[in-house]
Amino acid sequence: MSHISLLSTLLKITTLVISLSVISSCKKSKIAEPQTVFSFKANGVSYKWSNSVSGNTEPQGAKIIKITTATGNTCHILEGMDHQSDMFLNLAMVTNTLQKTTYTTITPSSNNISYSIYKANNVYGAPVNPGDSVAVNITDITNNFVTGTFNAVMHDQTLTKIEITEGSFQHVMIAQ
Protein backbone atom coordinates (compact mmCIF):
# COMPACT_ATOMS: atom_id res chain seq x y z
CA MET A 1 0.00 0.00 0.00
CA SER A 2 1.41 3.35 -0.97
CA HIS A 3 1.72 6.30 1.38
CA ILE A 4 -0.83 8.25 -0.64
CA SER A 5 -3.43 5.50 -0.44
CA LEU A 6 -2.73 5.01 3.32
CA LEU A 7 -3.03 8.76 3.86
CA SER A 8 -6.27 8.86 1.85
CA THR A 9 -7.74 5.99 3.93
CA LEU A 10 -6.74 7.67 7.22
CA LEU A 11 -8.28 10.94 6.02
CA LYS A 12 -11.56 9.17 5.21
CA ILE A 13 -11.62 7.45 8.62
CA THR A 14 -10.89 10.76 10.41
CA THR A 15 -13.65 12.52 8.45
CA LEU A 16 -16.10 9.73 9.32
CA VAL A 17 -15.22 9.89 13.05
CA ILE A 18 -15.60 13.69 13.10
CA SER A 19 -18.93 13.47 11.26
CA LEU A 20 -20.27 10.89 13.70
CA SER A 21 -19.16 13.02 16.64
CA VAL A 22 -20.93 16.08 15.26
CA ILE A 23 -24.12 14.13 14.52
CA SER A 24 -24.27 12.55 17.98
CA SER A 25 -23.64 15.91 19.69
CA CYS A 26 -26.53 17.46 17.76
CA LYS A 27 -29.11 15.07 19.23
CA LYS A 28 -31.59 16.92 21.39
CA SER A 29 -31.43 15.93 25.02
CA LYS A 30 -34.86 15.35 26.47
CA ILE A 31 -35.50 17.38 29.62
CA ALA A 32 -37.52 15.44 32.13
CA GLU A 33 -40.88 16.99 32.99
CA PRO A 34 -41.19 17.62 36.74
CA GLN A 35 -43.29 14.96 38.46
CA THR A 36 -46.69 15.74 39.91
CA VAL A 37 -46.81 14.99 43.63
CA PHE A 38 -49.80 15.35 46.00
CA SER A 39 -49.27 14.42 49.65
CA PHE A 40 -50.83 15.02 53.07
CA LYS A 41 -51.62 13.48 56.44
CA ALA A 42 -55.20 12.80 57.56
CA ASN A 43 -55.34 12.34 61.33
CA GLY A 44 -51.66 11.38 61.22
CA VAL A 45 -51.88 8.83 58.37
CA SER A 46 -49.67 9.75 55.39
CA TYR A 47 -50.87 9.69 51.77
CA LYS A 48 -48.84 10.45 48.64
CA TRP A 49 -49.84 10.25 45.00
CA SER A 50 -47.54 10.97 42.07
CA ASN A 51 -49.28 11.44 38.75
CA SER A 52 -50.85 14.21 36.71
CA VAL A 53 -54.53 13.40 36.22
CA SER A 54 -56.35 14.58 33.12
CA GLY A 55 -59.49 12.51 33.52
CA ASN A 56 -60.89 9.76 35.71
CA THR A 57 -58.97 6.87 34.16
CA GLU A 58 -55.61 7.35 35.88
CA PRO A 59 -55.21 5.19 39.00
CA GLN A 60 -54.08 8.09 41.17
CA GLY A 61 -52.81 11.65 41.04
CA ALA A 62 -53.90 15.27 41.19
CA LYS A 63 -55.31 18.11 39.10
CA ILE A 64 -57.06 21.47 39.48
CA ILE A 65 -60.43 22.00 37.83
CA LYS A 66 -62.54 25.13 37.45
CA ILE A 67 -66.28 24.96 38.13
CA THR A 68 -69.22 27.32 38.38
CA THR A 69 -71.29 26.63 41.48
CA ALA A 70 -75.08 26.59 41.75
CA THR A 71 -74.89 30.11 43.21
CA GLY A 72 -72.90 31.36 40.22
CA ASN A 73 -69.52 31.62 41.98
CA THR A 74 -66.38 30.39 40.29
CA CYS A 75 -64.31 27.83 42.20
CA HIS A 76 -61.06 26.09 41.47
CA ILE A 77 -60.92 22.64 43.05
CA LEU A 78 -57.59 21.05 43.95
CA GLU A 79 -58.30 17.32 43.54
CA GLY A 80 -56.08 14.53 44.81
CA MET A 81 -57.31 11.00 44.20
CA ASP A 82 -56.50 7.33 44.36
CA HIS A 83 -59.11 5.45 42.31
CA GLN A 84 -57.74 2.05 43.34
CA SER A 85 -58.42 2.84 47.02
CA ASP A 86 -61.60 4.81 46.27
CA MET A 87 -60.13 7.76 48.14
CA PHE A 88 -59.99 11.46 47.34
CA LEU A 89 -59.47 14.94 48.77
CA ASN A 90 -60.99 18.00 47.09
CA LEU A 91 -60.15 21.50 48.32
CA ALA A 92 -62.13 24.49 47.03
CA MET A 93 -60.64 27.90 46.26
CA VAL A 94 -63.29 30.52 45.51
CA THR A 95 -61.71 32.63 42.77
CA ASN A 96 -62.09 33.42 39.09
CA THR A 97 -58.35 33.31 38.47
CA LEU A 98 -55.70 31.41 40.39
CA GLN A 99 -52.90 33.56 41.79
CA LYS A 100 -49.94 33.08 44.10
CA THR A 101 -51.77 33.64 47.40
CA THR A 102 -53.47 31.77 50.23
CA TYR A 103 -57.15 30.89 49.80
CA THR A 104 -58.81 30.35 53.19
CA THR A 105 -62.41 29.53 54.01
CA ILE A 106 -63.76 29.05 57.53
CA THR A 107 -67.20 27.56 58.33
CA PRO A 108 -69.80 29.11 58.44
CA SER A 109 -69.28 30.72 55.08
CA SER A 110 -71.21 31.32 51.92
CA ASN A 111 -68.04 30.73 49.88
CA ASN A 112 -68.98 27.23 48.73
CA ILE A 113 -66.78 25.48 51.23
CA SER A 114 -69.05 22.44 50.76
CA TYR A 115 -67.11 21.81 47.55
CA SER A 116 -64.22 20.72 49.78
CA ILE A 117 -64.61 17.03 50.67
CA TYR A 118 -62.57 14.07 51.84
CA LYS A 119 -63.27 10.34 51.39
CA ALA A 120 -61.31 7.39 52.76
CA ASN A 121 -62.50 3.91 53.77
CA ASN A 122 -66.10 4.86 52.95
CA VAL A 123 -65.93 7.74 55.43
CA TYR A 124 -66.78 11.16 54.04
CA GLY A 125 -65.65 14.40 55.63
CA ALA A 126 -66.34 18.06 54.89
CA PRO A 127 -65.88 21.38 56.66
CA VAL A 128 -69.37 21.40 58.20
CA ASN A 129 -68.83 22.45 61.83
CA PRO A 130 -68.31 26.07 62.89
CA GLY A 131 -64.57 26.71 62.86
CA ASP A 132 -63.78 24.02 60.29
CA SER A 133 -61.46 25.42 57.65
CA VAL A 134 -59.64 24.91 54.38
CA ALA A 135 -56.45 26.76 53.46
CA VAL A 136 -54.64 26.36 50.14
CA ASN A 137 -51.43 28.35 49.63
CA ILE A 138 -50.31 28.63 46.00
CA THR A 139 -46.58 29.35 45.88
CA ASP A 140 -45.92 28.96 42.15
CA ILE A 141 -47.85 28.96 38.88
CA THR A 142 -45.78 28.11 35.80
CA ASN A 143 -47.03 27.03 32.36
CA ASN A 144 -50.45 25.88 33.63
CA PHE A 145 -48.94 23.93 36.55
CA VAL A 146 -49.33 24.87 40.21
CA THR A 147 -47.29 24.21 43.37
CA GLY A 148 -48.17 24.91 46.99
CA THR A 149 -49.30 23.69 50.39
CA PHE A 150 -52.62 23.06 52.16
CA ASN A 151 -54.31 22.11 55.40
CA ALA A 152 -57.88 21.61 56.53
CA VAL A 153 -60.11 20.73 59.45
CA MET A 154 -63.23 18.75 58.56
CA HIS A 155 -65.70 16.45 60.27
CA ASP A 156 -67.17 13.17 59.07
CA GLN A 157 -70.83 12.10 59.21
CA THR A 158 -70.44 11.06 62.88
CA LEU A 159 -68.86 14.47 63.65
CA THR A 160 -65.42 12.94 64.21
CA LYS A 161 -62.72 15.52 63.46
CA ILE A 162 -60.50 14.96 60.41
CA GLU A 163 -57.31 17.03 60.46
CA ILE A 164 -55.55 17.40 57.14
CA THR A 165 -51.94 18.46 57.81
CA GLU A 166 -48.60 18.69 55.99
CA GLY A 167 -50.41 18.97 52.67
CA SER A 168 -48.31 19.77 49.63
CA PHE A 169 -48.67 19.62 45.87
CA GLN A 170 -46.05 20.05 43.18
CA HIS A 171 -46.49 20.54 39.46
CA VAL A 172 -50.26 19.93 39.50
CA MET A 173 -51.92 20.62 36.14
CA ILE A 174 -54.73 23.13 35.81
CA ALA A 175 -57.23 21.17 33.70
CA GLN A 176 -59.17 23.20 31.12
pLDDT at 136 over 80: yes
What's residue 71's pLDDT?
80
Give a yes or no: residue 163 inside a domain. yes
Torsion of CA 12, 17, 23, 26, to 10 degrees: -140
Give a yes or no: residue 169 inside a domain. yes
**pTM for the predicted model, two decimal places:** 0.77
The answer to whether residues 127 and 147 touch, using CB atoms and an 8 Å cutoff, is no
Amino acid (1-letter code) at residue 9: T
2 — pLDDT class (breaks 50, 70, 90): low
Q: Return d(Cα 131, Cα 172) in angstroms, integer.
A: 28
Give a yes or no: residue 139 inside a domain. yes
Q: Among 49-58, 61-70, 113-122, 132-141, where is mean pLDDT lowest? A: 49-58
Give a yes or no: residue 16 inside a domain. no
For 45-87, write each residue's pLDDT tens digit: 999 988 755 555 556 789 999 998 888 888 999 999 988 888 9
Give a yes or no: residue 7 inside a domain. no
Mean pLDDT of the chain: 80
Give the domain extent around 78. 33-173
For 26-42, write each residue's pLDDT tens digit: 455 556 667 889 999 99
The structural domain count of the chain equals: 1
Give a yes or no: residue 2 inside a domain. no
What's residue 11's pLDDT?
41
12 — pLDDT class (breaks 50, 70, 90): very low
What's residue 111's pLDDT?
56
Give a yes or no: residue 17 inside a domain. no
Nearest to 152, CA basis, from 87, 106, 99 = 106
Give a yes or no: residue 1 inside a domain. no
Mean pLDDT computed over 16-23: 43
Cβ neighbours around 109 below 10 Å, total: 15
16 — pLDDT class (breaks 50, 70, 90): very low
